[in-house]
Amino acid sequence: MFITSLSLRSSDTLFRIIKRRENRTNMRVTNRLITPPVLFSICISFFIFRNIEGFGGLPFSDESGHILGVLAMQHGDRLYRDYIDAHGPLVFMLSWILGPVAGTSHLWIFRFVSTLMASLAGLAIFCTSLFTVNWQRYLATTMWLGGIASVWTVQGLNLDSYWPIGGALTVISMATFVVPLCLNKSVSMPQAFCGGFATALLPFAAYAFGPLAIFFYAIPCLIWLFHRSAYKETIKGITLGCLCACLVMALWLALYGDIGGMIAFHIIANQKWYVHYIPFGIDAFLHGMALSFAPDRILETLSVITIGLGSFLLIWKSTYKLCALLAICGLLTLQIRGMDVFQNGAFLMAAFALASLTATACLKNRPNILSLLAFGSVGGIFLVSQHALSSPWGQTLAQRHAPMNGFWLFRIALMYIFWPTVYP
């Protein structure tokens, strides 16, 4: 009788221990499932808030040229023939799409261009073939969106400019085919097409992005040379996307611009004359890659550190090391222009994306560590941004929060200077 009672008690104790362990395991699994979506939702909300804040940020002279060009085209002028500008046609085309909505009374709407492009880049990261489960997608997107949201207005990513457009296109290319191919992951036809489309648009955002597009397109071509049957559909999709993008831009320029004028004023004139008046070239590249924690350089230093980490992880995890080196060389071409305070936001966006993609790929089986990394990286970038001088205005945190630094200053300044007839 005693032995039977002891046996029952032991069985009951053992059952409780097993049940307690099951509950702990279920709690861990539940935390794994809950934490990534919560972090993702917080960063999405933060990104939306920063975009709303960015709509009313200070104007920049480049934006004035883009907006004025759109208004001129709405009155029948042709880009690069009647209206001359040194920038690439893509920013004008995207702004032209929003022109009928913005008119002359709601100029802040033109800044939806950068919001839309950054959102598409975030979607590309979420849908990349690198990841197999949703929590990986949530955390990779969280790190990138939260990172750029932290520096959205500080780095001037909110502007209607070619920097955020080029940066977003770079991220789309990286997420859809560049990084997956380097890590020997399959790429679907839609992903290959979208990646090729984004890659071909890069030179139309700015001719200086042309070398990056060449490096990116060389990656699938190089892999295809050695694995023709396995990557036949992938190279076909990427090439088709490139051709479609070139066709779209050529048709738009034929209708609303001038292709010869684009070559003359955007490429030749920039390279022959304007390049001598800006920091552009090897010296600017080396200066931009130097580490400095001064307020006017701290964000650039953060970009350099981030791309260094992402490059190391990419080479370490990649199956095709030469392709990984090509991708890194292409990304470094984004840094051939830059100086103190005035910096290239495209390089920063690409650096954050490379680190987010590769870190998630390396920690794909460690959700707790990756969640902690996502939270810490976004928080760290936000704290760093609080001590940085803004690009391109050179404002401190206190100046950025001045009372008149808002929507009305943006609206009044642009409309009064460039369209004085609007006000009687």
Q: What does the angle CA 358 – CA 363 – CA 366 come to, to the nearest 5 degrees? A: 160
Q: What sign does the dihedral 73-80-198-391 (CA atoms) show?
A: negative
- In this predicted structure, what is the pLDDT of residue 343? 74
Instruction: State residue 131 phi and psi, 5-degree precision.
Output: -110, 150
Does the pTM exceed 0.85?
A: yes
Which amino acid is located at 207 in the chain? Answer: Y
pLDDT of residue 62: 84
202: its two tokens:
């890069």
Residue pair 243/197 in contact (Cβ under 8 Å)? The answer is no
Q: Where are the strands (E) in 322-373, listed by range?
A: none
Q: Among 202, 170, 175, 201, which Cα is nearest to 188's? A: 175
Q: Distance (Å, rounded) from C-alpha 263 to C-alpha 260? A: 5
- Separation of alpha carbons 69 and 265, rounded Å: 14
Q: Report the chain (424 residues): mean pLDDT per 10 consecutive residues.
A: 44 49 42 76 94 84 88 91 92 92 82 95 96 92 95 91 94 97 93 97 94 96 84 92 97 94 90 76 81 88 94 94 95 81 85 96 90 92 89 80 51 44 34
What whole-number distance in Å separates Cα of residue 354 and Cα of residue 348?
10
Please report, for residues 92, 115, 185, 325, 391, the alpha-carbon distance to residue 213 in angstroms, rounded to integers and kept in the order given: 20, 22, 21, 14, 25
Nearest to 354 by CA among 98, 144, 55: 144
Q: What is the pLDDT of residue 88?
A: 92
pLDDT attached to residue 32: 55
Asked if residues 359 and 370 have their Cβ atoms less than 8 Å apart, the reply is yes
The 10 Å Cβ neighbour count of residue 10 is: 10
pLDDT recorded at residue 413: 44
